[in-house]
Chains A and B, each alone.
Chain A
Amino acid sequence: MSEPLLQVSNLAKRFEGIVATDDLALNVEPGELHAVIGPNGAGKTTLILQLSGQLTPDSGRVVFAGEDITGLPMYERAGRGLARSFQITSLFLDLSVLDNVMLAVQAHAGHSFHFWRNARKEAALRQPSLALLERVGLADRADRRCADLSHGEHRMIELAMALAGQPRMLLLDEPMAGLGPEESARMVTMLRALKRQVTILLVEHDMEAVFALADRITVLVYGKVIATGEPAAIRTNTQVREAYLGDQEAGHG
């Protein structure tokens, strides 16, 4: 196997006595879709925050494309090709769908002190933006007001914006959150199409989606990795079953 694109080793984070991340190690290979699952409170979001740079780990190392990025701030990680999509959609609701994506493309196209040329007619902005909308299946919505679209479509726009910087790796924080069954199915189709084009680390609650998409799955419990492997192996892993069964019982009790 080639060198992993993302290497996490000995990562630890505590919040006033609560261990959120506990000596965590994780490798993501180039081109794979790697899912992170775990019961509530397993530390999935804390992990994403540390990988994207929003939260600094107490100890451990994060290496991206051979470079130690543990101490780098968020925007520098984004600049190196590690993009993150937000769990809560945060878009420009009163602008058009195309404008939303164009702003994300523009953010990666140098400074914006250009006062004269019509940005919406600039091929350098327009074409990649339309291509991104095509990729997420919203090309026909380009000129609609963002606020007029559904929640599911908003998530797709969010994804298109994350892809705008042509990232080498995407951190997806619960992309199915709040989606109906139909919209979830569309998102799964879309992520399947994205696989191989870009390396993805996916944190998701929707087990059906995870098992349908992931090349490998890492299971977190109390901030610790209890298993990593291919979906079939994870499905039959007794430790994992216990963790989830225990969680369900606690949930119903």
Chain B
Amino acid sequence: MIRLLTPRNVVLAVLLAFLVLLPVYAAVFGKPFVVTLFTRIVILAMAAVSLNLIMGYGGMVSFGHAVYIGIGGYVVGILAHEGVLSGFVQWPLALIASALAALIIGVLCLRTRGVYFIMITLAFAQLLYYVAIGLDRYGGDDGLTVYSRSEFFAPLDLAHKTQFYYVCLVLLFAVIGLTWRIVNSRFGLVVQGARSNDLRMQAIGFPTFRYKLACFVIAGTICGLSGALLANHTEFVSPAVMHWTRSGDLIVMVVLGGMATPFGPVVGAVALLVLEEALSGITEYWQIILGPLLLLVVLFARGGIMGLLRLGRAS
């Protein structure tokens, strides 16, 4: 028997309804900035979902995942700068560039595990961070302003805030659906087996390296899409988006929401960014409050927020 009215399902249903109806709320109460805030949250949630695929399901803790946000963003920014505005060109190229980067980084990093894997992914991210700083033609350290958002077909206008929000939201749902299919497929089972006991997987005949690499590339590609969206959203891209602290934020979102759960990263992204927004309104030193809160979750709720909600069902 599957009970539908579990605390977790109720919270998820409310959250999803809230995300879908948000622009209506913003219009009725005249708070357009809420749409802007949540567009950002939805985009970063997508990046967190992609990180969850490798970190939560695959056990590959990448400390450089934000690098694909930067790559996706810079592809859109650079193409716009050079006068190529069609989204049909920009977005596929953003995905391809991210996939290639993930392939190269993955081939080199996946030979290591544990702390070494974390350090090497971090090193690659920092490398590309400094490459971006060196892009003098495209703003270097100051970043690159994107004067025009990606262009698609006639009625769709990404410069329209509500339209853009829904584009991001639909893509987020699509990405969650896609990762859900992947983790429950044969491929997903192999990736989870490799997280659980890599040596045994090899002993029963799986060449785990190529499966983990494929998973790493899929995650990087999805994250590249969120980068393309973020560049459109902020109409700006700078090396800061791929700074290692951004990668750290993504890890926090996944851990806070609940690793290896389909909606955990979304819940984590909403929780972290809303808290950040709310606390920074109260005090300039909001991190003093946020830090201990995160500590409490990590220490006492190892399954993150989704884990806490599951506990609620058991009792």
Contact = CB atoms under 8 A, between A and B. Distances in A.
Main secondary structure of the interface of B (DSSP, over half): helix
A92 B193 contact: yes
Interface in B177-213: 181-182, 184-190, 192-193, 196-197, 199-201, 203-206, 211
Nearest to A78: B205
Given A92-B193, A95-B193, A103-B193, A113 B201 contact: no
Interface string A49-86: 00000000000000000000000001100110000001
B280 to A, nearest CB: 38
A161 B204 contact: yes
Contacts of A243: none
Contact residues on A (Cβ < 8 Å of other chain), bracket: 20 to 34
B214 interface: yes
A252 interface: no
Contacts of B197: 90-93
A108 interface: yes
Contact residues on B (Cβ < 8 Å of other chain), bracket: 20 to 34
A60 B119 CA distance: 48
B186 A114 contact: yes
A90 B190 contact: no
Nearest to A147: B196
A90 B204 CA distance: 11
A125 B185 CA distance: 11
Contact of B206 (A78, A107, A119): A107
Given A78-B205, A112-B211, A118 B185 contact: yes
Interface in A100-145: 102-104, 106-108, 112-120, 122, 125
B304 to A, nearest CB: 16
A115 B182 contact: yes
Main secondary structure of the interface of A (DSSP, over half): loop
Nearest to B193: A103
A115 B221 CA distance: 15
Contacts of A99: 189, 192-193
Contact of B196 (A94, A104, A120, A125): A94
Contacts of A86: 203
B189 A106 contact: yes
Contact of A114 (B185, B193, B204, B206): B185
A184 to B, nearest CB: 24
26 contacts: A75-B205, A90-B200, A91-B197, A91-B200, A92-B193, A92-B197, A93-B196, A94-B196, A102-B189, A103-B193, A106-B189, A106-B190, A107-B204, A107-B206, A113-B211, A113-B214, A114-B186, A114-B187, A115-B188, A116-B182, A119-B184, A119-B186, A119-B188, A119-B189, A125-B186, A164-B204
Interface of A: 74-75, 78-79, 86, 90-95, 99, 102-104, 106-108, 112-120, 122, 125, 161, 164
